Structure 1
């Protein structure tokens, strides 16, 4: 009887522990995936309002996440993990997507990259406060320098004039930093795919209400470009990109992985030029060189 019980008992899958090189590559893949999020959101806004776009993004991702959890027979998270999962849900699934989508109504994708310019530093700070692990002084110096370079670059593009969109972006930055840090911490105990899947499913009721409100009050003209953008931000930005991102964080640590995201604003700028026809600022190559040096220092510093 005991043998039969053990045969039918579901087996918990432990998170995979990758080496530093693999972890860095996975985190970089996550950054590359996220770098298309702003241009794809701008595409979705050609046919949907900001509330409709953000809500439908969460609903579609929630359905896919629920199917994944059922297909993989994922066990319910432990009670001690739910607070962290709700932080992931609030920051990465509800707060950041909605606030950045609202900002993109009036702000260009290049300027909105200011959020990503400060997000790596904010994530490292939150992680250090949450876990008590302190990276080296060289790490902090490079992280601050990289964030400053990207911030100065993006502010120069908007002539330094703060707007309501900047407020949305700043608040979105803060809530996302907590979601990244908690997700990276949880991914050391739970597979990263399940961390983001449970976070997306937990937000499904809120996102369904958001989508319903948006569809009721906003005009909808879903052309091919809008549908393609919505599909990307739902499948990749909201769900798929987090799988390598959280797994990479679990392998090399949240602070070190977060600094790879210093390259994201520059990647976003390239996509904005290629897909949206925005101009490439002359300062972009210089900023790219500074950022790459800062990333190299953070990856080589002792965490």
Structure 2
């Protein structure tokens, strides 16, 4: 009797090839996300200097800080209405509206408001060092919000970064913290929440540019009457502002509040929040370099040393392993 041999189907090359193609596509998406994130960060890097240019300093005030903060959102919101209509963007689903509201509280209101008032009283170079903590803050908010489990060393780096920022603020303030430093830290926290919330929306399938546009549009019932009231109250200051101040306002409205987020949110969604947020490492240095020709500020050794130290803690912290959701 002839014994039947077990049937062993030949190994199909299709599955390994498909897996390899999927891995390559994922790698390409991650690289594209990184470059989009970098483009967004470079656009954001001018936000602090341009906000200072628009509002001026305490000794030479230009546009009122509240007008800059709310006006940029109102102008970008009107542009967003046109963009959403032109692209026939789908309306957010029910569960997405609360997430849009939380994110808008951070990036539409919180960061512009806190940073705008802060740079009225401190130089843009000083503010750039404080906001250099933003990448680690974004990663920390992302880890808590997404219930991820970074290594304990990540949280030690976060605490060290906070300590360095506070120490720098104290050194620059003659041994004490200034109210503007608290405003800058509040701006960092606001931006971190807004970044992570927007990234979650983009990861759910909402296009990055639609994320920021829907945030701005849903805020228009607040921002439009608010900026109109500010304009009526400070008409003389608006009329007396230099053209350069209006140029700064145009930049933070069109780029910082709008176009920068097109690239940023899509980059976070494609490359991952924890990984892409690392490109923010270049932001404080780009901000400081831009502040020199734009505002006539100068860089001193203490500022550079603290900036490098803060970025060093961010770089180390971002390299710590991150576990999955709890």
TM-score band by shorter chain is 0.7 to 0.9
Q: TM-score, normalised by structure 2?
A: 0.79
Q: Structure 2 matches for 1:1-303, cutoff 5 A?
A: 19-46=29-56, 47-137=62-152, 140=155, 149=164, 152-153=167-168, 155-189=170-204, 190-218=206-234, 219-220=237-238, 221-287=240-306, 289-290=308-309, 297=316, 301-303=320-322
Alpha-carbon distance change, 261 to 141 in structure 1, aligned in 2, over 3 angstroms: farther
1:175-232 deviations in Å (ceiling 9; x for gaps):
2221111111111121111111111111122222331232122221243201210110
Which one has the largest radius of gyration? 2
Provide structure 2 residue ranges, at least 5 long, that are not aligned to the other structure: 1-24, 57-61
Answer with 46-55 or 181-190: which moved more. 46-55
Shift of 1:107: 1.8
Equivalent pairs, count: 288
Provide structure 1 residue ranges, at least 5 long, that are not aligned to the other structure: 1-15
Q: Distance in 2 between matches of 1:123 and 1:245?
A: 13
Q: Distance in 2 between matches of 1:299 and 1:125?
A: 10
Q: TM-score, normalised by structure 1?
A: 0.84
1:86-117 deviations in Å (ceiling 9; x for gaps):
11111100121012111222122122225413
Q: Distance in 1 between matches of 2:45 and 2:218?
A: 25
Cα pair 1:266 1:284 within 8 Å, conserved: no
Answer with 44-53 or 16-25: which moved more. 16-25
Q: Distance in 2 between matches of 1:171 and 1:147?
A: 12
SS in 1 for 2:95: helix
